[in-house]
Chains A and B, each alone.
Chain A
Amino acid sequence: MTRKESGSTAPAPARRRLSRRRARGNSLDPHETRRALLLVAPALAVLALVIGYPVARAIWMSFQADQHVENGFFVQGGFAGLDNYKHWLLQRCGDVACPPGNTGSSFWEVVGITLFFTVVTVTIELVLGFWFATIMNGKFRGRSLVRAAVLIPWAIPTAVTAKLWYFIFSYDGIANTLFGAHVVWFGDKWAARSAIIVSDVWKTTPFMALLILAGLQLISEDVYEAAKVDGASAWQRFWAITVPLVKPAVVVALLFRTLDVLRMFDLPYIMTGGGAGDGNDTTTLSILVINESRNGFNSAAALSTLTFLLVFGVAFLFVKFLGANATGAEPKVKAKR
């Protein structure tokens, strides 16, 4: 892209786009529109089938009752109103508060654990990823070796990553050996959580670093030179040039990773099954949905609906407050620097 040339002055590409648009006329060509819609239709139809339909079905299910016992008899389904949602949000099991140990009573705990994983891993990944990206943006030989090295954690299936780190963190494993420790990593709440966080950070920091690196590479060397001439220190250059110019790339990377961790399933499910010794110490929302589907599909559907509302709520906040332009589509003139 031509962002480099336009780095400092007014939006040259925008001007070019405007003039092109003027040349083609501002009205939409009806033939072009029809052709475009024909080309887009199959994808939308497929998405409606593979996502739209299941979601509609899940929402419908979430208002149905699961098979339950009433007056000593098994009662089959029926309309349940908001009961399933009350089960999760208010910990109501029927007309009474859910007993401890019930999935309903663990809802807020699990939300907390999921958010904890999200905030901690994304923060560590952002800092490490930024650091990796600045290193990779420097001048050095062996670029392809480094690129291959960072792509390996990204490419390894998460299921394998889970097993690999499960081995590394086993009692006689290399982590304890290296640090001379005797930690039972999967028998303690915080140890297990740390092990999961380390595994996730290992696997996904490269992705973060690559996205940030791509953003860094769009910044022209000239801007730094000019700042240096004006006497800006390295620290000032970082905060006044690097950070604002790389922000769009970082926000998109943050968005992707945040949504990924909110949906996290594979690592904790395979490494701990959701508990560490006992309880829900490492249960994420996705794991809770799967566990609940053994009790009743309809209440699980309500929980999965809540999960996807949470994911979309967070995505909305990102777009609204951080201006994440993840679509990369038709950036407004003001977004184009």
Chain B
Amino acid sequence: MTTTSRWRSARTYLGVALIVVWGLAPFYWMVVTAFRDLQFTFDPTPWPTHVTLDNFRTVFDTSRNHFGRSLLNSVFIGGVVTAIGLVVGVFTAYAMARLRFPGKNAILAVILAASMFPGVALVTPLFQLFRNIGWYGSYQAMIIPDISFVLPLTIYTLTAFFREMPWELEEAARIDGATKRQAFTKIMLPLAAPGVVTTAILAFIAAWNEFLIASQLSNDKSQPVTVAIASFNGTQPHVEPYTAVMAAGTVVTIPLILMVLAFQRRIVDGLTAGGVKG
């Protein structure tokens, strides 16, 4: 080992340490605060002190907030949006990745343009429309606009995954006498499962994190967690309930962190799919 290469590896590990601190420190601070007594909100001790579960009790106290309900709302909205995005997206992605047809690039451009569409441009017309037809505050009032960004995402990611698949197997199955439909459902779909699961996770996270549309089109009963957290009530008036908000943030983030830990490799593949792969 020369000194230069040792120096270089030391520098790499220093950089790596910095990246890890970057990603984890604020999150760690949220979790530590979530377990801290309200009176010691601003205690700067870097490790857990004054540990209590009170904040979580405040979060789920139904007399003050609709947090528990909003969690279920988020699960429901995210689930439905993901399902619709996948079912509709999988066919399009197959055509995009596998078939040759006129206007393909134009359609891809349309889908991409759709994914860049500012959500705020949907809120104004939809707010009025949903008011008129009595859908304001309903689940479909959020599910429908959410599809506008989740569907392009699923098509985009699935197409990138499908392009990488060993499609020779499909032809092999066809030679063995399978119909095109059979070759797709029996051979290719199981092979595509990992890509589909990854896409589902990305879609669910996108829907779960949505705030703008929900903040305008939901009411107390239908609001998702993001809106609930942004308008959180504490135990005392005029005191920012930081610890309880951090507890709520922890609850909202934990399922995502678990997904990230379980599927990190695939999520990175999915995020970068299409972006760099021709």
Question: What residues of chain A have their CB less than 8 Å away from a CB belonging to chain B?
Answer: 1, 3, 13, 28-29, 32-33, 35-37, 39-40, 42-44, 46-47, 49-51, 54-55, 57-58, 61, 131-132, 135-136, 138-140, 142, 144-160, 162-165, 167-168, 170, 172-174, 177-178, 202, 205-207, 210-211, 213-215, 218, 248-249, 252-253, 256, 259, 262-263, 265-266, 269-270, 285-286, 289-290, 293, 297, 300-301, 304-305, 307-308, 311-312, 315, 326-331, 335-336
Contacts and interface: CB of A to CB of B under 8 A. Distances in A.
Given A46-B147, A167-B246, A304-B118, A61 B19 contact: no
Given A158-B209, A270-B230, A327-B108, A150 B19 contact: yes
A211 B275 contact: yes
Contacts of B129: 54, 57
B253 A155 contact: yes
A155 B259 contact: yes
Contacts of A55: 117, 121-122, 125
A215 B100 CA distance: 27
B95 to A, nearest CB: 4
A305 B159 CA distance: 30
Interface in B218-241: 225-227, 229-230, 232, 240
A140 B112 CA distance: 36
A115 B233 CA distance: 34
Interface in B189-236: 205, 208-209, 211-212, 215-216, 225-227, 229-230, 232
A202 B22 contact: yes
A145 B20 CA distance: 8
A334 to B, nearest CB: 12
Contacts of A164: 26-27, 29-30, 246, 249
A153 B23 contact: yes
Q: Which of A37, A54, A140 has the most B CB atoms < 10 Å from its CB?
A: A54
Contacts of B119: 263, 265, 286
A54 B121 contact: yes
A210 B88 contact: no
A128 to B, nearest CB: 9
Contacts of B209: 157-159
A307 B99 contact: no
Given A50-B145, A304-B123, A28 B101 contact: yes
A211 B118 contact: no
B167 interface: no
A336 B271 contact: no
Interface stretch (B9-17, B49-57, B59-67, B171-179): B9-17
B240 A170 contact: yes
29 contacts: A28-B100, A28-B101, A33-B99, A33-B101, A36-B99, A39-B94, A40-B92, A42-B88, A44-B110, A50-B147, A135-B15, A144-B265, A156-B256, A157-B256, A158-B211, A159-B229, A160-B30, A164-B29, A168-B29, A170-B240, A172-B42, A174-B44, A177-B44, A213-B272, A304-B118, A308-B117, A327-B109, A330-B104, A335-B278
B260 interface: yes
Nearest to B278: A331
Contacts of A136: 16, 19
Given A43-B111, A58-B124, A165 B20 contact: no
A329 B155 contact: no
B75 to A, nearest CB: 14
A40 B261 CA distance: 34
B42 A173 contact: yes
